Chain A
Amino acid sequence: MSEVLDREVLDKGYAVPGALVSTQWVADHLKDTNVRIIESNEDPLLYPSGHIPGSVHVDWTNDLNHPVKRDYITRESFENLMSRIGVTAETTVVFYGDKNNWWATYAFWVFQLFDHTRAKVMDGGRLKWQKEGRPLVREVPQYQQTRYHAPERQDAKNRAFRDDVMEQIRKEGRLVDVRSREEYTGERLHMEGYPNEGALRGGHIPGAANVPWSRAANPENGTFRPASELRDIYLKEQGLNAHDPVISYCRIGERSSHTWFVLKYLLGFDDVRNYDGSWTEWGNLVNVPIEK
């Protein structure tokens, strides 16, 4: 993480304050050559319609997902991506996006699979930037390509697979289902406003607590709630312990990357993994346990 901390973020009392920056911090670093601002959204037309000056676009479908199988990009593809957006090992990348930073935290999470730890998220994402009347431009910046050497992707620390989830169930470990109440109970297979697609069975993984991701965000500006409020939700109310292993999941892993970020960086949990297979895998698996 960059050593430069942000007073606005520090005041919110997070465990790893360097993982988050304010919109003002970003505005102050637009011309900082050691910083690369990265926008990631669900709608691929959003970045070209207007973005933070100097920011680059990382598309979750085309840039982060494997082109054929359900997996993430390889080391070589990650190196090519970093080279294309002009990032070196010393560059601090700052993610922001729509939907309360769902896709920003998702991209941040993928970057951690390649151990690019000089990474931050802009608190509030596009929503807060726009609400503050800050500039958006259509000019796409061109950066000189870099030579970026990434390690092989290391999934174990931050990513859970279905066998890890089975083991977590066996050990009666903690799972956090961040979907809506209706998805958790099996009433719906997708969040409100989306079509019911993607799974044959509804419900949740046995033993999972239901803490919708949105509880960690302020709806009016998309910022994360301060640490004291997050502790009330995840520690006091749900009884999670920062030293116990936790696995978060949703439908495809994007909403749960938001909660993964909250638990790992804002509350300082030691061992949090995001199960990106999530309900579109679990709800289609044969003979796995499901609760309603």
Chain B
Amino acid sequence: MGQPGQRSDREIGAMSELPEKLESLLATMQSITDQNERVQMLLDFADRFREVPGRVAERPFPEQNRVAFCESEAYVWAEEQPGGTAKFHFAVENPSGVSAKALAYILDRTLSGAPFEQVMRVSPDIVSTIFRQNISMGKGMGLMAMVRTVQQLASQIMRRKG
């Protein structure tokens, strides 16, 4: 099994016009070379993760919100907000899904409130930048699927709005 590769500075630069908060976070993650520091930051993100509120969804969560190929049993919702943006909500049903919780927190913090056009420009490869080589291909693809699901929901709202 391989691992998602680390993004180069050139590739990061190519992701211009990303949501500002995401760009800032990726730059921070890119600058961290100490593995323990990176792990602590990701753990902190996972600790801050808050599950989808009951007013948006309750168990059993609908299959249509489930992230395909994510063995952490992640779910995503998009709550439309004024100004062509959305608040993204997540649930992670697998108690061992610590990386999924960290990513859910990151996606909520950086993509909620961002213009849909910018959300659509986010490459799922940000998973490699965030988690580096320390994640298996299977898990990496599950996490990338979380990013794609956020984009699918954003795209659905965009189409609905015409």
Contact = CB atoms under 8 A, between A and B. Distances in A.
Interface of A: 41-46, 48-49, 59, 61-62, 98-99, 126, 130, 190, 193-195, 197-198, 252, 280
B3 interface: yes
B139 A45 contact: no
B71 A194 contact: yes
Interface stretch (B6-14, B77-85, B130-138): B130-138
Contact of B134 (A62, A99, A126): A62
Contacts of A197: 137-138, 141
Given A61-B136, A62-B134, A195 B43 contact: no
Interface in B97-141: 97-99, 102, 133-139, 141
A99 B141 CA distance: 18
Interface in B27-79: 39-40, 42-43, 46, 69-73
Given A49-B43, A194-B69, A44 B134 contact: yes
Nearest to A130: B95
A190 B39 contact: no
A198 B72 CA distance: 20
A43 B98 contact: yes
A48 B39 contact: yes
Given A59-B134, A61-B134, A126-B96, A45 B141 contact: no
A188 to B, nearest CB: 11
B19 interface: no
Contact of B98 (A46, A59, A61, A280): A46
A128 to B, nearest CB: 13
Contacts of B95: 130
A252 to B, nearest CB: 5
Interface of B: 1, 3, 39-40, 42-43, 46, 69-73, 95-99, 102, 133-139, 141-142, 145
Contacts of B72: 43
Given A44-B39, A62-B134, A193-B73, 13 more contacts: A42-B138, A43-B139, A44-B99, A45-B46, A49-B98, A61-B3, A61-B133, A130-B95, A190-B138, A193-B142, A195-B69, A198-B137, A252-B1
Nearest to A196: B69
B71 A193 contact: yes
A198 B138 CA distance: 9
A43 B1 CA distance: 14
Contacts of B136: 42, 61
B43 A43 contact: no
A5 to B, nearest CB: 30
Contacts of A41: 96
A107 to B, nearest CB: 14
Nearest to A253: B1
Contacts of A198: 1, 137
Nearest to A49: B98
Contacts of B139: 42-43
Given A45-B39, A45-B43, A195 B138 contact: yes
Given A42-B136, A59-B134, A194-B69, A98 B43 contact: no
16 contacts: A43-B96, A43-B135, A44-B39, A45-B43, A45-B98, A46-B98, A48-B40, A49-B98, A61-B133, A193-B70, A194-B69, A194-B71, A194-B138, A195-B69, A197-B141, A198-B1
B69 A45 contact: no
